Amino acid sequence: MSAHSTTAQAHPNIALLKYWGKQDRPGNLPATPSLSITLDTLTTTTTVRHARTDSISLNGEAVEDPGIRVALADWRRDHEIPPLAIETRNNFPTAAGLASSASGFAALATAIDGHCRLGLSAGGRSALARRGSASAARSIHGGFATLCGPDWQASQLMSADSWPLKVVVAITSSAPKAVSSRDGMAISRRSSPYFDAWVSATAGAFGSMRDAVLRRDFARLAELSEASCLRMHGLMMSGDPALLYWNAGTLSCIEALRGLRQAGRNVFFTVDAGPQVKAVCTTPDARAVEELLRAQPGVQDILTVGLGGGAVVVDG
Ligand code: DP6
């Protein structure tokens, strides 16, 4: 057993064009392309060291994490990865719709690549992270990232500095979500009459959203992002069982943000598989967005974050 350890850090990302649903073949391959922004400040820090058997601790407590165990078994089919003690910490609530699995698998893939000297490129780490959780593929990169075929490795579209947007997160519940993204996606694919339409509409919107980002066209990005979010939630609601991730606070925030945009502010909303609302805005509008969201019924807390960098080894 070696005392030597490697520590990596990664941040969650928020999809503006959403991934929801998988292809019917191995590798955890999304059925849709996606485009995201990686956040700063919210951080997962993961340390790995050689051990006699695998163990996982989350925020200082030993846990059984079937997702990590399955990913490790999968990664070991292609790479020399010895038994590892894995310690991971999030400085934000886990499993509350803030994409802790994205930062978690991006940090883990980066720490293991460094520790076990796998010598992977950023694309290789992204593919490894994707096999753990597809949104994690995008957290390998900072700023604006895309994940699309044919290779399904994420790439950076634009750096965080190129368009320093802000994200104001309205927390409307800190309870873990009732149905995981993975189970929810399987329900939508199996039972929603809209699934095929969702896949083709998302593929169709991908190029337009990429162009809107490259042109820094906020109004167009707002339109495309809200459409992707609402279509995804429409899909979720149309399955059997129907999935409704929102609560009353979610809807209050959405209505308030639509009003603020009509009043001329640069802001739009997005919501993932949980009840939190993420308001994406330009820096001069962030204060007004925070004040508005704080005043909404059901909002428990507000977090304002900027766009951040990709996953990196910080020690080891
Ligand atoms: C709504 O990446 O968590 O956040 O690949 O099964 O781990 P798995 O799913 P996951 O799903 C993310 C869903 C989403 C949209 C997105 O991030 O694109």
Given its phi and psi angles, is residue 298 left (phi above 0), alpha (psi -120 to 50 degrees) or beta? left
**Do residues 115 and 316 make contact, with C-beta atoms less than 8 angstroms apart?**
yes
Measured by CA distance, the residue closest to atom 4 of ligand 1 is 272
Is the Cβ atom of 19 under 6 angstroms away from ligand 1? yes
When pLDDT is averaged across residues 30-44 and rounded to a whole number, the result is 97
Q: Which atom of ligand 1 is nearest to the CA of 133?
A: 7
- Mutate which of 135, 199, 235 to test ligand 1's pocket (most atoms within 8 Å of Cβ)? 135
Percentage of residues of the chain with pLDDT beyond 70: 97
User: For residue 81, what is the enclosing H or E element?
Assistant: none
Nearest CA to ligand 1 atom 7: 133
Residue 182 Cα, ligand 1 centroid: separation in angstroms?
7
What is the average per-residue pLDDT within 133-143?
98
Q: Is 134 in the pocket of ligand 1 (CB under 6 A)?
A: yes
Average pLDDT estimate for 53-68:
95
Nearest CA among 101, 99, 121 for reference residue 110: 121
Measured from the Cβ of residue 27, the count of other Cβ atoms closer than 10 Å reads: 12
Question: Residue 13: pLDDT above 90?
Answer: yes
Widest CA span in the chain: 62
pLDDT bracket for residue 316 (50, 70, 90): confident
For residues 255 and 235, give the distance between their C-alpha atoms in angstroms, rounded to a whole number. Answer: 20
Average of pLDDT values for 98-114? 93
Task: Check pocket membership of 272 for ligand 1, CB cut-off 6 A.
Answer: yes
Strand ordering across the sheet containing 61-62: 61-62, 55-58, 84-90, 44-50, 5-10, 312-315
Whether residue 192 has its Cβ less than 6 Å from ligand 1: no
Is 155 within 8 Å of 143 (Cβ atoms)?
A: no
Torsion 253-256-259-265 (CA) sign: negative
Q: Is 236 in the pocket of ligand 1 (CB under 6 A)?
A: no
pLDDT at 97 (0 to 100): 61
Distance from the CA of 133 to the center of ligand 1, in angstroms?
7
Q: Which atom of ligand 1 is nearest to the CA of 130?
A: 5
Q: Which ligand 1 atom is nearest residue 135's CA?
A: 2
Q: Among the listed ranges 59-68, 211-220, 222-231, which one has the minimum average pLDDT value?
A: 59-68
Distance 228 CA to ligand 1 centre (A): 14
Question: If 0-12 CB within 10 Å is exposed, 13-18 middle and 19+ buried, where does residue 24 land?
Answer: exposed
CA-19 nearest atom, ligand 1: 18
Check pocket membership of 32 for ligand 1, CB cut-off 6 A. Answer: no
pLDDT, tens digit, for every residue of 151-204? 999 999 999 999 999 999 999 998 877 899 999 999 999 999 999 999 999 999
Mean pLDDT of 236-259: 97
Kindly give the number of the ligand 1 atom that is closest to the alpha carbon of 30: 5
Which DSSP letter does residue 265 get? -
Q: Does 128 contact ligand 1 (Cβ within 6 A)?
A: no
Ligand 1 proximity of 18 Cβ (cutoff 6 Å): yes
Q: State the distance from the centre of ligand 1 to the C-alpha of 105, rounded, in angstroms.
A: 12
The finding on whether 188 has its CB within 6 A of some atom of ligand 1 is no
Q: What is the reported pLDDT for 174? A: 81
What pLDDT sits at residue 155? 98
**How high is the mean pLDDT of the chain?**
95
Please tell me the predicted confidence (pLDDT) of residue 176. 78
Task: Tell me the pLDDT tens digit for each residue of 113-132.
Answer: 999 999 999 999 999 999 99
- Can you give the pLDDT at residue 1? 35
Query: What pLDDT is recorded for position 94?
Result: 63
Res. 2: pLDDT tops 50? no
* Full-model pTM: 0.96
